[in-house]
Chain A
């Protein structure tokens, strides 16, 4: 993970998960997996967060909440969908109150499969998210630099 120049701050929201992926996400932060040693911090405040972890599918009631959290996060931001329900709806796909995966509501960058997703897979997903975050940051810096150059030359 030497490519990471930043401590990624994560925020977790449970869509309509069965808790399985939630507790596995939480387990990543506790002694056995301990992602905090890699600089990952779990925060409850969307404005502090870089990475949004979503477990479970989305329903009518949770979709606006998810949007609200996403919109409050500062740019650039990355969304990680955790577990099969967040990917496609999983076993609950045919339920009347399930809209489908998280990507029906938000642009998803990383998909972590599994039912329940294993902590190793989640950590891998977060590492991928860090990579994407860095790319987005680089991209934005590049844009800024170009804009500045155009302004100076013009």
Chain B
């Protein structure tokens, strides 16, 4: 089982997503990880038993394009990332605006700095 990681920049995300969509990949998952003051995003795709993982590191205040127009179920993962990490995602097909998970703490995985 190999993870096939591909490192991309946040501006190439949509382009890569479109390419994978054309190559008949399905969205497996989107995951965010806090790495210091940045957030590492993992977009995983699968085709049959193949696995491809796009890695993209962004700053906490960076905005990123939604891929929910290419892969419809992505809006669930993106709302989740928004609620748990406070990542700003543009043009989601369904935007819950922070009410997807109503957590006791705001952005529990990456609390915003004071001020």
Contact = CB atoms under 8 A, between A and B. Distances in A.
Interface in A5-64: 59-61
> Chain A, interface size: which category?
under 10
Interface residues of B, number: 6
B19 to A, nearest CB: 37
B72 interface: no
Interface SS of chain B? loop
B1 interface: no
Name the residue in B102, B104, B105, B108 with the highest tally of chain A Cβ atoms < 10 Å from its Cβ: B104
Interface in A90-108: 96-97, 99
B56 to A, nearest CB: 26
B30 to A, nearest CB: 20
SS class, residues of chain A in contact with chain B? loop
Interface of A: 59-61, 96-97, 99
Nearest to A59: B104
B103 interface: yes
Contacts of A61: 102
Contacts of B101: 97
15 contacts: A59-B104, A60-B102, A60-B103, A60-B104, A61-B102, A96-B103, A96-B104, A96-B105, A96-B108, A97-B101, A97-B103, A97-B104, A97-B105, A97-B108, A99-B104
Interface string B13-48: 000000000000000000000000000000000000
Q: A-B pairs with the 3 shortest C-beta distances?
A: A96-B108, A60-B104, A61-B102
Contacts of A60: 102-104
Nearest to B109: A96
Given A61-B102, A96-B105, A97-B105, 12 more contacts: A59-B104, A60-B102, A60-B103, A60-B104, A96-B103, A96-B104, A96-B108, A97-B101, A97-B103, A97-B104, A97-B108, A99-B104
Nearest to B104: A60
Contacts of B105: 96-97
B98 to A, nearest CB: 13
Nearest to B102: A61
Contacts of B104: 59-60, 96-97, 99
A61 B105 CA distance: 12
